[in-house]
Amino acid sequence: MAQPNKQNLALFDLDNTLLAGDSDYNWSLFLIGEGLLDAKTHQERNEQFYQDYKNGTLDIYAFLEFQLKPLSQHPKKFLDELHLKYMDKVIRPMMTEKAQTLVNQHKAAGDLCLVITATNSFVTKPIAAAYGIEHLIGTDPEMVGGEYTGGVEGVPSFKEGKVTRINQWLAARGQQLTDFETSYFYSDSHNDLPLMKMVTNPVAVDADETLTAYAKQQGWPLISLR
């Protein structure tokens, strides 16, 4: 008979959860500020997609086509250098002490820690690393010959897609969600309810109205990392 996994699993959403802001939305604003995107056309669409996300009506593939296209217009080496500037100028001011403390507590307990985010992994992997989290599931931009194509590889980690992706990730490690006696998922968004309902310990973090109402109804903890 298989022994239960003594290690706990701690899953973290990134935007507006570990970060006091949205790395995807701000990446577009950063590119506009750097003169790499047209302000008028891009900013309006960026705002609309962000509202759709908050309203739960986002067409993820339309958004990804919009969001990943700029990656296909520049060499990866240039994008990596640009991201260093983005981290310093935009992301580090959004990283909160409370979020880092929470991550550190889970790491100190020996928990398996993972950031799972709808935002693409080019933008988010360095952010997860800055929090000291080795593992990341993000929406993966397609690459051919070491450069981004503007397309998507695999299932976007959004809504039910997060459930699919965590199951795939664990399966590749010879594990499944039910192997963990205790599993946490920290999120701010009602878009994450499909995965929040799967873990033993869902936690609403600086949550939107829909998630706040649902969490109260279910008796889930509501916390702030701001």
Catalytic residues: 13, 15
Contact 26, 16 (CB under 8 A): no
CA 47 to chain CA centroid, Å, is 19
CA 95 to chain CA centroid, Å, is 14
Residue 83, phi then psi, degrees to nearest 5: -65, -35
Give strand pairing partners of 140: 153
Gap between the Cα atoms of 208 and 13, Å rounded = 13
Q: Token pair for residue 199?
A: 């873990």
Residue 135, phi then psi, degrees to nearest 5: -100, 135
Gap between the Cα atoms of 150 and 196, Å rounded = 30
Count of residues making up the chain: 226
Residue 90, H or E segment: none
Contact 22, 81 (CB under 8 A): no
